[in-house]
Amino acid sequence: MKTRRRLPEAESADPPVDPEEQQQIRIAWAYFVEGLTQAEIAERLGLTRLRVNRILQTCREAGVIQIRIQSPLASCVALERTLIRRYGLRDAVVVPTPRDEDKIRAAIGVALGGYVENAVHDGMLVGIGWGLTLRLGLQSMRRRRMTDLSVVSLIGSMTRGSGENTFEIVSRFADLHDADRFYLAAPVYADDEAQRDSLLGRGVLRDITDKAKSADLALVSVGNVSDQNLMLALGVVDREVAALRAAGAVGDVLGTWLDAEGRPVDHPLNRRMVALSLDDLARIPTVVLASGGSYKFEIIRAALRRRCVNVLITDEKLAERLAEDGEG
């Protein structure tokens, strides 16, 4: 009898870092270290100049700004700027790595929730993938009634239920924002390439993938080639693990398996995948990758090398490895 692997339990989403302090330190860093004007900082962060001025004053009064920036988050902000330069990103958010590595996804989820709250506006179309980190991000978001907001799944669903499945995540996001929802109602992998082409080549599913291509914002995570990967943990691609590793796969982005350089590996799963292609994903204006933990280093680096994402939300230790990597 086949033994079902145990999925990681959802961690507490209690924020390990105050998002308001994160914003204060980013503003202080930009002003005192990078030498940006208050107007430039306001434009970068989507704030008013008056708001930036008040936050700087708060930092002075709190003693955050002395001769140097007094905060453990200063190193995270420095890493953010390094990652942006090294990998050509639009933005990066780095959170301190919890002592308990099992809490990393919860910490990143909180940062993702804060980022999305600032990034989502009326009239947008948001594309969403799947994964525990994305679900934890939703847990930290406030309920907001938006106008003319839509959300679309970027990848097919698993036939077995899971709170991290794209169907549940899209539904939860839509409920939080009073948004219209569009599901890619198909399995994540078709039986063969011909069936995949048939599914995506006509009717409702073609309309959904066309809609996904026009998203303004995409939220994705990544999986490595281990039991930590949702598809492997649920047995979706159990029999393919050895062949994926032999092909050089280090993990997947939206069901496309990549090698360490960010190239799709030569494996049948990549020809059966029912999801937005990584080339189409890269054309979306803002693509946020939220993921961390040492075991995700290779696949996160591969996604950055692929240039299919342009915003990274991760933890400090992983960010340090990415910053030190000489082949970004």
Looking at residue 67, its pLDDT comes to 44
- Structural domains present in the chain: 19-62 (1.10.10.10), 74-324 (3.40.50.1360)
pLDDT at residue 12, as a whole number: 44
**Identity of residue 279:** D
Q: Which residues contact 37 (CB under 8 A, 6 or more apart)?
A: none
Pairing of strands 311-315, 286-290: parallel
Q: Mapping DSSP to helix (H, G, I), strand (E, B) and coil, where does residue 187 land?
A: strand
Half-sphere exposure of 42 (CA within 13 A, CB side): 13
Per residue in 96-133, pLDDT (tens digit) is: 998 888 889 999 999 999 999 989 999 999 999 988 89
Give the mean pLDDT of 265-286: 96
The helix (run of H) or strand (run of E) holding residue 217 is: strand 217-220
Instruction: Please write the tens of the pLDDT for every residue from 203-262.
Output: 899 999 999 999 999 999 999 987 666 666 555 566 788 889 999 999 999 999 999 999
87 Cβ contact partners less than 8 Å away, ≥ 6 residues apart:
304, 312, 322, 328
pLDDT > 70? residue 70: no
